[in-house]
Structure 1
Amino acid sequence: MAEALLSAVLGQLFSIVTELGNQELRLVKDVEKSISNLQKKLEHIQDVLEDAERKQLDDPSVRRWLGKLKHVSYAINDVLDDWNSEILKSQLPTHVEEEEGDGHQKADLVSNKMMMKKKKVCFPSPSCFFCLNQLKKVGVRHGIALRMKELNETLDEIAKEKDAYSLEKTNNASPKERRETTSFVYESDVDGRDEDKNLVISKLLSDESSDKVPVIIPIVGMGGLGKTTLAQLVFNHEKIKTHFNERIWVCVSDPFDEVRIAKAIFESLNNSRPGSDRLPDSDRLEVLSQHIRTLVNGKKFLLVLDDVWSDDREKWEKLIQPLRCGAVRSRVLVTTRKTEVAHMMGVTSSQIIYPDQLSEDHCWKIIKRLAFEGRNGEELKQQLEEVGKEIAKKCKGLPLVAKTLGGLLFSKQTLKEWEDVLSSKLWELQDEQSKTFAPFFLSYNDLSPRQKRCFSYCSVFPKDFKIERSNLIEMWMSQGYLSGSPQDMEKEGEKCFQILTMRSFFQDFERDVDGNIYSCKMHDILHDFSQYLTKNECSTMKVDMEDIEPLSVEKVRHFTLQTLKLGGAKFPTSTFHQNNLHTLFLNCSSSGLDDDDDYDMLVFLRICCDHKHLRTLYLEKCRITNIPEQLGQLIHLRYLNLSGNSRLRALPDEVCDLCNLQTLRIQYCRHLQRLPKGMGKLVNLRHLYCFGCYSLEGLPKGIGRLTELRILDRMIIPENNEAYLSLGDLKKLNHLQSHQTDFEIFNCHNLISMGENKERVLMNWKYLVHLRLSFKRWYRKICEDEFGILETLQPHRGLKRLSISSYFGTNLCPEWMVSLVHLKTLSFFHCLYVEKLPPLGSLPSLEELRVSVCNKVRKIGVEFLGNIKHNNNNNVSFPKLKLLDFSGMENWEEWEGNIETTEHTDDAAGGAIIMPRLDSLQISSCFNLKSLPEYLKLTPLKNLSILWSNMLWQSLAQSEKEWLKISHIPNIEIGSNVAIRRDGKWNYDELARLGVPRAFVHDGNEEDPF
C-alpha cells in the first residue's frame, strides 16, 4: 500500500516540476527547492519499497517505518492539493447572480469570464498576478513554504531510518506486458460439490418435521470454503423452485439487525404478489412480523439466511417467530462460520452440514479453467500443468483461494513465472494472520501500484455491501488513484475494475441486459484482507450499543461509520476530532426517523465540515433533512453522495464553492425542490446524477457550461425556458455526448411551449444505450402535438433500451421507432390515448416488450407483427422476442392472429414464423380480453402467467379449442402463486377447482400434483 500511495504522490510532484519552468512559482520563497528535494527523497525511498512491503509482513519495525512513510505521503498530498485548490478558487467568479439572468446575453458574458484552461495541477501565470497578490494577503504562499520545509525535515528522518533495515533495491523497470483482458468475467463452474449439493437438497425436500416450524438446516464451515456458493446452487435448483411456494434470500452478515432482515423478508415475499402492499413505514419489529405472518401463513417456503454471525438467542427468536405459521415442510437454510450459531438455533450436531474441503484435483480444475482460458500451445500447457498441480496443493481445499490463484496464473505467460509463484517466499510467512492471506498477497503483489490502491480502498465499504461499479470508479477518482490524463480517468477506472474482477477480488455480480456488470460484492475474507492492508489508514466503527469507544488509530484517513440508529447518547460525536480524513462513509442500515435524529444529523454534518481535506463524502440514505452551509468549506471534496435522502428539500448555495467536485449524486431525493443557481461554478464536475428527483422543476442554466460534464442521467424540461437549462443547451457538451449511456428526459410535454420541437438533439449521441421519455404524469386531455415531440426526440440507431411513459398523443409510432435495429427492450406505460400499437414485429433485435396501462387499445391486430416481408430476417416476426408482458389494459378485447390469417394474408404475415424464441408471456389486469391468438401454440413458450384477467381464463377453461393454445406450455400460473402446471406436470386439484374439464388434459399423467 505504501508503494501505491507513493506512486500517486510522485506523479503529482512530477506534474508540478513540469510546470515550474513556465510559471511564477519561484515568487514563493523556497517552494521550488522544497518540491525538488521531496521528489528526490521519495524516488530514493521508492527504490526499496518492494522489499520493504515484503519484509513488513514478518517484521513489525519495518511495518512501523512504512506507516510513517504513508503518513508523510498523505501530508504531502494534502499540501499540494491545498495549493492547487486555492489557485483554482482565486480564478472563479465571486458573484453568480448574472448567471441565471433573463436571457442568453448575460449567460454568455459570464461564460466568457469562467472559461479557463484546466490542468491537473494549476499555477498562476504572469497574467494572473492579481491572483498571486490575493493569495499573499491570506498567507497561502508563506504557509505552503513552511509546510514544505517541515515535510522535508520529516522525510529526512524517514530516509535515514530505512538504512537500518537492510532494504534491497528492486528493479523498477516497466512491468511486462500482460495478456489482453476483456470485459468478460471468467467465473469457474462449481467443482466438487455434487455430494454436498445433493445432501442439502435431500434435507430440504424431505418429509422431516419437528415440533417447531420451520425446520432449520445450517451449513457450517470456514471462510472461503464455498458455503454461499453451495446455498446458491441449491436455491436455484429446479427441484427447489418447484417444491416451495416462496423462496427468500437474505444476506445477514454482521451486525445482526433483525429489523433490516425482517424488511428484506417482507420485500421478497411481497414482490411475488401483484398489486402488493408497500413496505410498512415502521421500524418496529412487531409491525413487520405481523405482515410477514400474514404472507407466509400456510405456505411452504424456503428462507436462506446467508452469513450469520450472531448467536444472540433472543434476537433469533424474535425474527423466527412470525415464520412459524408457515406450512409444515417449510425450511430455513443458514450459512455460518460458527458452530455455536447453529446450536443457538436449537440444531443438534447431527443436523449440521459440514462441507468438505475440496480435493487437490478439484482445486486444480478450478485453477486450470481460469488460467488456461484462451491459452494456446499444448506442449506449454503440459509443462504448466505439472507446476499448477503443485500450486493447487497450496489451496488447502478452499475454492476461493483456487479462484484467486487461477486469476493470477491467467496473467503469467511462461513456465518460469508459474514456478516463481510456486517458490514464492510468501508461502513461508510465520505471522499467522499474514500466513492466512499468503495466496491473496501473491495476486495483490502482482498488481500495478494503481490497481493496488484501488483494491485496498474497497475496505471502506461495509461487509456484504453491494458496490455499484460506477460509484466505485468515481470514488477511486476522488482519491486521485486514477490520475493521469484527465480525459481518460473513467476508462482507467474501468480497466482497474476489470482486472480486479478477473483476479476474483469481486463476486456476486449483477448485470444489465447486455451482460455488463453494474454491481458486485467482496467475499468476507477478501474484505478482511483489504482491511489488513489498510489497518493504519482505514477504520470502521459500528454504532449499535450505548458505550462508544473513540477511534483507536490516530492517523486514520478513511473512516466508515455503521449505525442502526442515530440519536441521543448513541451518536459518536466525540470520535471526530481529527483533521486527517480523506473519506467519510456513513452507512445507516435502519430507515426509521426519530424526533431527535434531525438535530443529531445536523450536528454530525457540521462536524464533517471541519475535516478540510475530505475528498469523498458518502451520505446515502442517511435521513438528512438539511445540509449546513459550512459544506462549502470542503474545497478538496471530489465526491458527494446524498442519494436516497427523501426528506432533503434544498442544497445550500455554498455547494457551488466546491470547486474540485467531480461527482454529485442526489438520486431519489424525492422532495428536493431546487439546485443552487451557481452550479456553473463547479467547473470540474463530471458526473451529475439526479434520477428520481421528482420535485425539481428544472436544472440550473449554468450546467450547460460545465464542459467537463460526462454524465447527466436526467434532463428536466421546464415550463420556463429562460430560467432553466434547455435541451438545446446540451449540444455544446461534447463529453456528455461521448460518455452518456443512460438518460431520461422528464416532462417532455413542455417542449411544445419551448419552441424546441424542431431540434433533434439526440441523434448524434451514439453511445446512448438506454433512453427514457417521460411526459407529464397526471391525467390530462388528449394532446396530438405530443407526436411531434416524439418525432423530434429521435435517438441514434444504436439505442438498445427505450421506455415511453405518460404520453398523451394517439399515434405512438414515429418513423424512427421501427428503424432501431439494435433495440433489445421496449416499454410503453400509461399511454392513455393510443389506440393501436406500432408494427413492432419488424424490430430484429427486440427481446423484451412491455405494454402497460394503454387503456384505449381494444384490439391488437396482425399489423402488430410488422411488415415482415421487408424484414431482414425473412418473414420472421419478433425474431428474438423472449418476454411479452401486457398489464393494466382495461379495454383490450381482441388479440388477432389465427394461423389461417398469418399463412394466407400477404399484407400481414403470409407463411411467417412468429415469435420463434418466445419464452414468457405475462398478462395481468386485462379484464376484457377474450382469447389468445392461435399462433401462440406454434411458439416455444415455456412460461405463461394470467393474473386478474378472468374473462380470458374462463374462455380457456370452457373451450377445448382455446385450451389447445396453451396446453403445450410447461409452466402455467393462474392468479397469485396458483400454479396449474410446473415442469410439464399438471396440478389436477387446481384444475378441478378452476373448473377445467379433465378431458382437456391429454398427457395421461395420473401422478399426484407436482
Structure 2
Amino acid sequence: MADAILSLLLDQVKTIIDKAKKEVKLLVGVEEEVEKLERNLDLVLTMLADAEEKKTTDKLVKIWLARLKEAAYDMEDALDEWRSGVELEVKGAENAQGKVPRLCNFFSSFSFRREVAVNIKEINRRIDEIVKEKDRYQLESKKIELPKRPETSSFVDVSKLCGRDGVKREILSYLMGGNSEVEAGKPIQTISIVGMGGLGKTALAQLVCNDPDVKQHFESVAWVCVSDSFDEKRVAKAIIQGLENLCGGAAYGLESDPLERWDSLKVTFNLGATASKILVTTRNLNVASMMGSSDSQIIHLKKLGDEECWSILRDIAFRGKDKMKSRGDLEEIGRKIAKRCTGLPLAAKVLGSLLQSRSTKGEWLTILDSEIWKLNLAQKEIFAPLLLSYYDLPHPVRQCFLYCVLFPKDFEYTYNNITSHWLAQGFLGSDPNADLESVGLEYFNILVAHSFFQDFKIWNGQIYHFKVHDVVHDFGKYLAEDEFATEVVESDHLSTNSAKHRHLLVMVDKRMTFPTFISGAEKLRTLVTYTGKDTLTPNALRSLFNHCRRLRLLDFNRPTQRNHLCNEVPEEVGKLMHLRHINLAYSKKLETLPEALCNIFNLECLNLERCQNLKHLPESIGKLLNLRTIATTGCFALTQYPKDIRKLTSLRRAHGVIARADRNDDKEFSLADLGNLKHLRTVAMKVVGNSIDKEEARKAELQNVEELGIYLAGEVEEGDIIEALHPPAGIRFGFCDNYWLIPRGLEL
C-alpha cells in the first residue's frame, strides 16, 4: 500500500540528501532547493497516515497518493544519480596517485551538477503542487507510530490439520477404494476438493498425498499447481516430469505436442497404471465438474467451527509462553477473536501469529476492536485478518512482503535470492557499511512469524526454500495494485504502463524471442524473465539497456535454472548506473563479460553461477567497490580469479572463489588476498596449487568468516590447508568433493 512504499521511498530520499550534502559542495541555488525539498518531505510524511485511512473511501485521495508515489520514485532516481556522483568524486579524491577515473570526472563536471540541479528543481515544483492539494482533501498531519516489532520465533509447520480428520478419511476411501483395476474405456476417477480460499484445501491434499497408506498404495505421485491459468500442455508436462523423477524416466507415452482440451489431457492418463486417481483442489465448482468429478466425488470443504479456530489460534498465540496469571482474561478475548476468523484456518493461523508477540489484555483488545474489521475489503473474511497482520509490520518489512507478489503463485522462493532482491531495491537500508544481510534475515523472520510464508524446506536448522499461500498472494496483489506486473510476450513488441509499473515479470514462450523493444518501460526498476530457448539476443539486450536506464535489478535465471542468454552481454550494460543486482546464472554460452560491466559503480550482486564456458572475469572488476556478493560456482572454464578481487572490500559473500595456495603474485588472487576482505562472511572456495605457502596463507585472516567451504584442486592435503588457514572456532566449515557441490547453507 502507499504508506509502505512511500514511507520507505521518502526515508531513502532524506538519507541520500543528508549524505550528499555533507560530502560535496552544491551549485549555487541548489542547496536552497534541497532544503526546501527536505521541508516538503517532512510535511508529506506526516500526512501519509491520514491519507491512507481516507484512501479506502475517497478516490481523489487515492489518486493523490498515486501522484505522490510517482514523484517519490522520480525523486529517488534523480538523487541516486547525485549520490553516485558524490561517492565517485570522493573516491577519486582519495586516489593516492591523484588519478581520477574518467567516470569520476564526468560526475564532478559542471554539466552533471547542472543537470542534477535542474532535476531537483523540477521535482520540487511537482512536490509543491502535491503538498498544496492537501487542503483540498482536508488531510491532516499525524504522527506516524511505527508498530512494535514482534518477537521472532520458529515457524509453524502443522503436520496435522485441526478438524479435518473425517474429511481426510473420506478422501482416502475414494483414493484407495473400489476395484483394483479400471475397466477398459472408463475414465480415471477424479476427486475434487472444493472450497473458498483459506480453508486449507491444498494443505489437506498434501496431507493426503503424504499419507503412508497412499504412498504404499500408489506406485508414484505427481504434484502440479495449476494456479489461476489453466494450460493443458503445461500441466501435462509438469505431471510427466514429476512421474519421470519418481519412476526413473518413464514418460507414460505422452507426446510433447500441445494438448488443446482437458478431455484430451485426461485421456492420456488412461495410459498410466490401472486404478490411477486424480485429486483436484479448486475454489470453483465448475472446474470440478469440468474435470469429470461426479457429485459423489466432489468434497465440499466446510468452514471450521469457532472452537476449532480457537484451538489453532490458541496453540500459536501461547506457544513458548509460560502459564500467565492473565491467561484466563486473554482466553476470553481470544475466543471472541477466533469468531472473527469465520471458520477459516488460515485466518486463525495469521491472527494467532499476530497475538503471539502480545501478552496483555489491552493488546489483545486492540486486535478485537480494530476498525479494520469494519472496512469494505475484497475477500473481507480473509483479507481483514491479513491486513491486521500487515499493519503490524514495520514499513520496510511491508514492502519486502509486497515485493514477493512479483513472482507467480506457487513459486518456490530461495531465501538468499529473495533477500538479495530486497537488498537491491533498498528495502534493507542504504548504508554500504552496515550488515544489511543480517537486516534481511531479521525482516524474513518477522514475515515468517506473521505467517506470510509457508511450505518451508529446512537444511541444518535454516530455511532455504519457502512459498507464499495463494490467498496471501492475492492479498499482496490487492495491496500493491499496479506496482507489479506480469506480461506475456506474443510478438516482438511489448507494452507496459510506465506510469505505474516499476517491477515487471516477462514470460516468453520458446516459440518467441525476447522483445526488441518494451514500450513504456523507461522507469522500470526490476525485470525478471521466464524465457524459452535462446530468446535473449544481443539486440534485445542492447535495446533493453539503452531504454531502461533506471533498472536496479535484472534476473535472467527463472524458474528452470536455465538461462537462455545468447553468447554476448552488450557493452551497453555499463549504462545502467542504478543497477544493483544482475543474475546471469546458467548462461551456458557465455564466454566473456564486457569491461563496461565494471562501470556499474552501484552493483552489489553479480551472479554467474553455472556459466560453465565463462573463461575469465573482467580485468577492471576491482572498480566494483560496492559489490557485496559474487558467485561463480560451476564456472568450469574459469581457471583463475583476477588479483583486483582483493579491492572489493564490501564483499560479504563469495561463492566459487579461485585462490592460489602456493604463491602470491600480482596476477592471480591468492589465499593471502582474503585478508583484504574484512567484511567477508561466507566463502565457497576452490584452492589451486600443489603446495601451500604457509606464511601467505596466514594472512587470509578468516576471523570474520562464518561459513567456509573448500574444494582442493591440487595435491594439498586437507589437514595441511586447515593447519595453514587455522579457521576460527565456531565457523561452519566443510570440504567438498567438487567445488560446486558446496554445503547447502552456502548456496546463493
TM-score normalised by length of structure 2: 0.88
Look up the match of 1:181.
152
Structure 1 residue 518, shift from structure 2 partner: 1.0
State the number of aligned residues. 729
Pairing of 1:932-971 with structure 2 (within 5 A): none
**Following TM superposition, by how much is the alpha carbon of 1:206 offset from its aligned partner in structure 2, in angstroms?**
0.9
Q: 1:379 to 1:67 in 2, by over 3 A?
A: same
Instruction: Tell me the residue number matched to 2:628.
Output: 686
- The answer as to whether partners of 2:254 and 2:268 remain within 8 angstroms in 1 is no
Q: Measured at CA, do residues 608 and 433 of structure 1 come closer, stay the same or move farther in structure 2, by a change above 3 Å?
A: farther
1:367–1:402 Cα contact (<8 Å) kept: yes
Residue matched to 2:405: 459
Give yes or no for the alignment of 1:237 onto 2:211: yes
Matched residue, 1:359:
305
Looking at structure 2, the residues matched to 635 and 700 of structure 1 have their Cα atoms a distance apart, in angstroms, of 23
The corresponding residue for 1:551 is: 496
Counterpart for residue 118 of structure 2: 146
Aligned equivalents of 2:109, 2:673: Cα separation in 1? 39
> Bigger radius of gyration, 1 or 2?
1
| Counterparts of 2:333 and 2:717, CA distance in 1 | 72
Number of the residue aligned with 1:511: 458
Q: Is the 8 A contact 2:71 2:127 kept in 1?
A: yes
- Residue 630 of structure 1: how far off its partner (Å): 0.4
* Residue 619 of structure 1 pairs with residue 591 of structure 2: no
Q: CA deviation at 1:355?
A: 1.4
Residue identity opposite 1:649 in structure 2: E
Correspondences of 1:529-928 after superposition (within 5 Å): 529-543=475-489, 545=490, 550-552=495-497, 554-565=499-510, 567=512, 571-573=514-516, 575-588=518-531, 590=532, 592-593=533-534, 597=535, 599=537, 602-604=539-541, 606-620=543-557, 621-625=562-566, 626-717=568-659, 722-736=666-680, 739-740=681-682, 743-746=683-686, 748=687, 750-752=688-690, 755=693, 759=697, 764=702, 767-769=705-707, 771-775=709-713, 788=720, 792=724, 795-798=727-730, 802-805=734-737
Which of 442, 446, 449 is 1:499 aligned to?
Answer: 446
Q: Specify the alignment match of 1:293 in structure 2.
A: 252
Query: 1:473, 1:493 within 8 Å by CA — same for their partners in 2?
Result: yes
- SS of alignment partner, residue 759 of structure 1: helix
Cα distance change, pair 515–419 in 1 and its aligned pair in 2 (3 A): same
Give 1:734 shift.
1.5
**CA shift digits 1:587-631 (9 cap, x unpaired):** 23x5x45xxx354x6414532442111111111134002211101
Structure 2 counterpart SS, 1:734: coil
Structure 2 CA distance for partners of 1:270 and 1:399, relative to 1, 3 Å: same
Q: Distance in 2 between matches of 1:556 and 1:562?
A: 16
Q: Deviations over 1:784-843 (max 9, x none)?
A: 978755765665554556344279xxxxxxxxxxxxxxxx999xxxxxxxxxxxxxxxxx
Q: Any residues of structure 2 matched to 1:169-318 within 5 Å, and which?
A: 169-173=141-145, 175-176=147-148, 178-182=149-153, 184-188=154-158, 190-208=161-179, 209=182, 211-212=185-186, 214-257=188-231, 260-272=234-246, 291-293=250-252, 314-317=260-263
Question: In structure 2, do the counterparts of structure 1 residues 434 and 609 end up closer, same or farther at CA, with 3 Å as the change threshold?
Answer: farther
Kept in 2, the 8 Å contact 1:429–1:435? The answer is no
Work out whether 1:526 is the aligned partner of 2:525.
no
Q: Matches of 1:131 and 1:797 in 2, distance apart?
A: 43
Q: Percent identity?
A: 36
Letter in 2 for 1:414: T
Alpha-carbon distance, 1:724 to partner: 2.4
Q: How far off its partner does 1:147 sit?
A: 1.5
SS at 2:225 equivalent? strand
Hey, what's the Cα distance between the residues in 1 that align with 2:744 and 2:400? 34
> Equivalent residue for 2:389?
443
CA distance in 2, matches of 1:172, 1:788: 58
Do structure 1's residue 427 and structure 2's residue 367 form an aligned pair?
A: no
Q: How many Å apart are 1:507 and its aligned residue?
A: 1.0
SS at the partner of 2:114?
helix
SS class of match (2:530): strand
Other structure's SS at 1:7 match: helix
CA deviation digits over 1:554-598, x for unaligned, max 9? 332111212333526xx555543332111112123x5x45xxx35
Are the aligned partners of 2:197 and 2:471 in contact in 1 as well (CA < 8 Å)? yes
1:62 offset after TM fit, Å?
1.4
Deviation at 1:81, TM superposition (A): 0.2
TM-superposition CA deviations, 1:370-391 (whole Å, max 9, x none): 2122234533222122222222
Residue 901 of structure 1 corresponds to which residue in structure 2?
A: none
User: Which residue identity is paired with 2:122?
Assistant: E
Shift of 1:465: 1.4
By how many angstroms is 1:539 displaced? Answer: 1.7
CA distance in 1 between partners of 2:482 and 2:155 (Å):
32
The reply to whether residue 370 of structure 1 matches residue 344 of structure 2 is: no
Distance 1:166 1:354 in 2: 49
| Structure 2 SS opposite 1:712 | strand
Any idea what SS the aligned residue of 2:224 has?
strand
With over 3 angstroms needed to count, the CA separation of the structure-2 counterparts of 1:806 and 1:75, relative to structure 1, is: closer
AA matched with 1:148: I
Could you say what the CA RMSD is over the residues aligned between the two structures, in angstroms? 3.5
Distance 2:552 2:716 in 1: 50
Residue deviations 1:367-421 (CA, integer Å, cap 9, x gap): 1112122234533222122222222222222211221111222233322222222
Q: Is the 8 A contact 1:461 1:560 kept in 2?
A: yes
CA distance in 1, matches of 2:139, 2:324: 41
Residue 156 of structure 1 is matched in structure 2 by 128
Separation in 2 of the partners of 1:322 and 1:643? 36
Query: For the Cα contact (< 8 Å) 2:400–2:427, is it kept in 1?
Result: yes
**Contact 2:627/2:648 (<8 A) preserved:** yes
Q: Is the 8 A contact 2:609 2:634 kept in 1?
A: yes
